[in-house]
Amino acid sequence: MAIHTVMLGDNLWGISIAYGVPIATLKAVNGLVSDRLVPGLNLYIPDQALPERYYQIKPGDTYWKLSQQFQTTIQDMMTANPTVDPNTLPIGLRIRIPTAQKYSMQTLVFFDALSGASYLETITDLADSITYLAIFTYSFNSEGDLLTIDDDLILQRTKALNIKPLLVISNYDVQMFSSTLADAVLKDETKRKRLVQNLVVKVKEKGYAGVSIDFEFVPPERRNDFTAFLKELKQGLGNLVLQLNAHAKSSDMPTNRLVGFLDYKATGEVVDIVSIMTIDYGYAIGPPDPIAPVWWIEQVLMYATGQIDRRKIMMAMSLYGYDWTVPRLADAEMLSSLNAQNRALNGWIPIQYNSIAQAPNYSYNLVNQGHVVWFEDIKSMTAKYKQLEAYNLLGSTYWRLRFLFPQNWAYVKKNIRVLK
């Protein structure tokens, strides 16, 4: 795999010749709608090189041992890591390993059923790269009764494509997460058990593979009640999957209004999958910041893997970016990574890359109004896959299907064996 960072004077014809990849392929894989390029654009090059693995050096490791483990050659590893002395491998160093042995992992993709669009063609195109499709969202009322959605068509398609559908349940009320709703049901054992029973019945009636929990802004004082809810639900689901979407944190913070209700250790012992939401470090109502800087993800994963079995953990990845006005006039615009990239191309705006955050960004002016855009591209996503594999996690969660990001899915297809 190669990533080409566009320099001043580059064009698609020259890049095509240099890598031996047709222009049409370069455009399709990178979502380019014209031949226009700008400095700083990172292009995914689908060359004939071997897939890549990422490995964190452990005591006793040598290139020879690793070449046997990954069925590759010492020379290939040396070429992939030109700055590394093969005779001195520091413990904790992360290296690239070219090998035909792809990393095996599960994936979970969120599907927004409330948007009114089916995206069935997208699901069909990406079916081989999706283990679970989390269908967002069922909700409930203050008595614990389910509020359902029209999910028959998407359920039919996922099952036909060998994708496991998960019923997302959230404290969603009138287009926002309601702390009052979560509080009312979780603290009342009768209402809580009614919600559990309703969920179990609906999941089995519809043929879902399990439940995805997406509760947000739950009052911190409901911490034990939330864990009890998960225990009761898992008992009712039996062998069906219970997956939890957990806000990212690098310490417990039990009184925090956003993450205080989440007891990583206790909930991790109950559920089958914990998706750590390593997204929205930079968020719509905050200042312009990278969506998921790698240094922050590192802090979160270090804490999470100390509390939860890492083979239960999925790492969330965003398929989007934000466009902030500066000074801020309104919430930032959320846009797909592809649209963020092409906005820069359409405006002839050079793209910068922050090496500390490992994230692309750019600035521009429109009608005398400043804008700052942070998003994800193939280079930033590759840095995150490196972290995911170094921690030997179960897999990745993507938010969300409707955000087009062809570079990411081309990477997954080549380098990862998605378990079904």
Q: What is residue 225's predicted lDDT score, i.e. its pLDDT?
A: 98
Cα distances (Å, whole numbers) of residue 356 to 54, 276, 296: 19, 21, 10
DSSP 16-30: HHHHT--HHHHHHHH
Using CA atoms, how far apart are residues 373 and 173, in angstroms rounded to an integer?
Answer: 30
Residue 378 scores a pLDDT above 70: yes
The residue type found at 239 is: N
Taking Cα atoms as reference points, which of 333, 331, 341 lies closest to residue 381?
341
- Give pLDDT tens digits for 216-264: 999 999 999 999 999 999 999 999 999 999 999 999 999 999 999 999 9
Average pLDDT over the chain, rounded to whole?
96
- Neighbouring-strand partners of residue 110: 134
Give the DSSP H or E segment for 45. Answer: strand 42-45
Least confident segment among 116-125, 269-278, 296-305: 116-125
Measured between alpha carbons, how far apart are the two ends of the chain, in Å?
24
Q: What is residue 25's predicted lDDT score, i.e. its pLDDT?
A: 97
Question: Based on the number of CB atoms within 10 Å of its own CB, is 298 exposed (0-12), middle (13-18) or buried (19 or more)?
Answer: middle
DSSP 155-199: HHHHHHTT-EEEEEE--B-SSSB-HHHHHHHHT-HHHHHHHHHHH
Q: Residue 89 phi/psi, 5° resolution?
A: -110, 100
| Percent of residues, the chain, with pLDDT higher than 70 | 99
- Give pLDDT tens digits for 147-174: 999 999 999 999 999 999 999 999 999 8
- Give pLDDT tens digits for 16-35: 999 999 999 999 999 999 99
Q: Is the Cβ–Cβ distance between 114 and 147 less than 8 Å?
A: no
Binned at pLDDT 50, 70 and 90, residue 312 comes out as: very high
- Give pLDDT tens digits for 34-86: 999 999 999 999 988 999 999 999 999 999 999 999 999 999 999 999 999 99
Using CA atoms, how far apart are residues 381 and 377, in angstroms rounded to an integer?
Answer: 6
Q: What is residue 48's predicted lDDT score, i.e. its pLDDT?
A: 87
Q: What is residue 118's predicted lDDT score, i.e. its pLDDT?
A: 64
- Give pLDDT tens digits for 101-148: 999 999 999 998 876 556 888 999 999 999 999 999 999 999 999 999
Binned at pLDDT 50, 70 and 90, residue 290 comes out as: very high
The β-bridge relationship of strands 241-247 and 273-277 is parallel
Cβ–Cβ contacts within 10 Å for residue 283, how many?
A: 14
Name the strands in the sheet holding 320-326, side by side, starting at the edge strand that comes first in the sequence: 333-336, 320-326, 369-374, 359-366, 352-354
For the chain, domains (ranges, CATH) are 2-45 (3.10.350.10), 52-98 (3.10.350.10), 103-320+380-418 (3.20.20.80), 326-371 (no CATH)
Our measurement of the distance from residue 354's CA atom to the centroid of its chain's CA atoms, rounded to an integer in Å, reads 20
For 62-68, the CB contacts below 8 A with 24+ separation are 62/86, 62/89, 63/89, 66/97
